[in-house]
Amino acid sequence: MNSILAFGVLTFALTFCGLADKFKSGGSNSSSSDNGTTKSSTGGSGAEKPTLTAQQQSIQDASSEVKWDEQGMSWKLPAGWPKMQVLKESFNYGAPANGFLIASIAIMPSSFPSDTSLDATYTQALEMLKQGKYEKVRWLEIDGVKGVEWVESMPEIKDGPRRHQWIAFRNYQGQNQQLNVMVSTDGNKFDKQRDAFTSILYSMKIAKG
């Protein structure tokens, strides 16, 4: 579990990798026709919207809503996903048998170039895709908020953590916030939970303004 929580912090730090070069170049765009990707443009223009298979919709319909009142966010979780810890800037539900939902908020300065940061996140994710560490990367809009989604490939250590993750920015209560949301379990359990993970992530509701 500690490795999963540490990854959230690491991912936040990695978001800034290469940003200096991006700023100098004015946040130039990248594009790819690689399998599993969608076209890139600044700020995720043209981002896809979530769709569910019949199985995923069935899971979502049978799930119960949990709310993060401090941040105006919610998800629908299947049975067997108990509350672990909910704080002002972090939200954790789940259990080893099924997996974990981990969400975090990072408050950025109002002047922080969110679009450029998100473009850098997308570019980095594409590189991970090319290296075989991710199996899918795309721009995805969830509840009106555009972000970057990826699914990790099977880890080298089969019981190591494997994640389905989404990062975005929003303006909320006068704050420029980075949203980092993931569903995760051990690599050798991931495929069994894949539909549940998708239904959870795509059920997310996000307050704005």
pLDDT above 80 for 14 = no
Instruction: Check which CATH number belongs to the domain holding 67 and give it.
Output: 3.40.1000.10
- ∠190-193-195 over CA atoms, to 5°? 120
Predicted local distance difference test score (pLDDT) of residue 209: 86
Query: H or E segment at 189?
Result: helix 187-202
Distance in angstroms (rounded) separating the CA atoms of residues 114 and 109: 10
Instruction: Classify residue 48 by burial, with Cβ atoms within 10 Å: 0-12, 13-18, 19+.
Output: middle
Strands (E), 56-208: 64-68, 73-77, 83-86, 90-95, 99-108, 134-142, 145-152, 161-172, 175-186, 205-206
Which pair of structure tokens corresponds to residue 39?
A: 């076209």
Backbone angles phi, psi at 16, to 5 degrees: -90, -5
Q: Provide the whole-model pTM.
A: 0.81
- Residues 93, 101: contact at Cβ < 8 Å? yes
User: Domain range spanning residue 6?
Assistant: 2-206
pLDDT above 50 for 37 = no
Q: Which of 147, 154, 140, 143 lies closest to 190, judged by CA?
A: 154
Q: DSSP code of 48?
A: B
The confidence band for 21, taking pLDDT boundaries of 50, 70 and 90, is very low
- The residues pairing with 161 across neighbouring beta strands, listed in sequence order, are 186
164-194 pLDDT tens trace: 999 999 999 999 999 999 999 999 999 999 9
| Residue carrying structure tokens 């970057």 | 148
Predicted local distance difference test score (pLDDT) of residue 28: 36
Domain count, the chain: 1
Query: H or E segment at 8?
Result: helix 2-14
Predicted local distance difference test score (pLDDT) of residue 75: 98
145-171 pLDDT tens trace: 999 999 999 999 999 999 999 999 999
76-103 pLDDT tens trace: 999 999 999 999 999 999 999 999 999 9
Which pair of structure tokens corresponds to residue 133?
A: 């560490």
Q: Which of 177, 83, 168, 199 lies closest to 92, judged by CA?
A: 83
Classified as helix, coil or strand, 165 is: strand
The confidence band for 46, taking pLDDT boundaries of 50, 70 and 90, is confident
Instruction: Classify residue 42 by burial, with Cβ atoms within 10 Å: 0-12, 13-18, 19+.
Output: middle
